[in-house]
Amino acid sequence: MSDLQCRRVSISREVAIPDHLKVERYRRAPEVGPRILFFSGGTALRDTSRELIRYTHNSVHIITPFDSGGSSAVLRDAFAMPAVGDIRNRLMALSDQTVHGNPEIYRLFTYRLSEDAEQDELKAELAEMASGKHRYVCSVPDPMRKIILNHFQDFLERMPADFDLRGASVGNLVLAAGYLTSRRQMDPVVYLFSKLVQVCGTVMPVVNRDLHLAARLRDDRVIVGQHLLTGKESAPLDSPVESLWLAESLQDEDPVEPTVDENVLEALAQAELICYPVGSFYTSVVANLLPRGVGSAVADNPCPKVFVPNMGRDPEAIGMTVADQVATLGECLRADGVTERTVPDLVIVDTRRGDYRIPFDAEGVEALGARVVDCDLVSDESEPYIDGRLLSQVLLSLT
């Protein structure tokens, strides 16, 4: 027995939680590890992603490209493109930091330009990067440096004269350049940089379109823009979300229904476990279920579906119990025409050390048709949040 308490749960078979033999087998051969698929966005899954690559190099991360705040907003406004920040974050979290040159690329891609400097100073620093003379660029070995320099130069050629570089993520600028030089397709640039930094998994946006999130609140207000929903760049919501949809622009609240990208459908069909993980409930998890075809693809795959609810306060989920969130996930699948088995099979919680703000109601969750798995997710080091190592081992045990 390790520091995790071993428990058993029945899916279609008896499974030990954690299954130490299975976890150890994956650790010894992560290149043939299981295909665990996450609907995700933001940074909540970063630590779990870093831990997971010790056990599998085949996880799939479906990312929401709808961020409309911070430096992502500047890029999207200038180039009418999907947001790349969350894609960059996940690529970096899954990169193998033991590979020569990767720590240097990680430092470069996570570097942000000053928020206080003048535009001329910031343009000069970006030009220094494009010339290969910047300290962070100099440290990147060839051939990675040459590829990155080409992208810097491409970005400078396309950058509008009034582009605001304050607080810009250098990694986002590089990915934006790759997107623009790849005929406005995200897959080629994600593939290139996945190979460049030895990403131990697959990262893909749920759609390759310039779209925005819109929500109707219980008080009948309509809010357009992810940055207005998360409670990070604006005041937290003071009324619960009643419905969520996609819109063409921040100025147009009319719903659009894009079709999920084909590569996402293929990934969903091949997944050995599908996870709705921790993260902002609406803008990171539910948002991924909005494109047409996602719900049906989830339902068609007989693999286990797992929901890991947030601990602590989620500004987007005002007043929602875990059962309410399970019901909402079911509604998303039904909206795509699914009629059977819409709720997750399992809801993974830690009632011993976890903080769910609203008391956890196991009976309410199970009344919806989901089974509760109550296991150790919080460690002394991670408290009050989920420990990525513990969560990884639980998910691996369920494959």
Question: What does the pLDDT look like over 303-337, one tens digit per residue?
Answer: 999 999 999 889 999 999 999 999 999 999 999 99
Please report the pLDDT score of residue 15 as a whole number.
Answer: 67
Give the span between the Cα atoms of 255 and 214, in whole angstroms: 8
Is 256 in contact with 248 (CB distance < 8 Å)?
A: yes
Position 357 pLDDT exceeds 90: no
Please report the pLDDT score of residue 234 as a whole number.
Answer: 86
Please report the pLDDT score of residue 16 as a whole number.
Answer: 76
Is 45 in contact with 137 (CB distance < 8 Å)?
A: no
Mean pLDDT, the chain, integer: 93
> Percentage of the chain with pLDDT > 90?
87
Please report the pLDDT score of residue 8 as a whole number.
Answer: 58
Question: What does the pLDDT look like over 171-200, one tens digit per residue?
Answer: 999 999 999 999 999 999 999 999 988 999
Please report the pLDDT score of residue 231 as a whole number.
Answer: 83
In which element (H, E) is residue 348 found?
A: strand 346-349
Domain ranges across the chain: 7-64+259-397, 70-205
Give the span between the Cα atoms of 141 and 97, in whole angstroms: 14
- Confidence band for 6, pLDDT divided at 50, 70 and 90: low
C-alpha radius of gyration, the chain, whole number: 21
Residue 179 amino acid letter? Y
Q: Of 3.80.30, 3.10.350, 1.25.40, 3.40.50, which CATH number belongs to 7-64+259-397?
A: 3.80.30
Position 386 pLDDT exceeds 80: yes
Position 382 pLDDT exceeds 50: yes
Q: What average pLDDT score do residues 362-387 get?
A: 95
Q: How far is CA 112 from CA 77, 134, 166, in A?
A: 19, 13, 8
Question: What does the pLDDT look like over 96-138, one tens digit per residue?
Answer: 998 888 999 999 999 999 999 999 999 999 999 999 999 999 9
Continuous H helices in 246-321: 262-270, 294-300
DSSP state, residue 273:
E
Please report the pLDDT score of residue 220 as a whole number.
Answer: 97
Question: What does the pLDDT look like over 29-86, one tens digit per residue?
Answer: 999 999 999 999 878 899 999 999 999 999 999 999 999 998 889 999 999 999 999 9
Please report the pLDDT score of residue 41 as a whole number.
Answer: 81
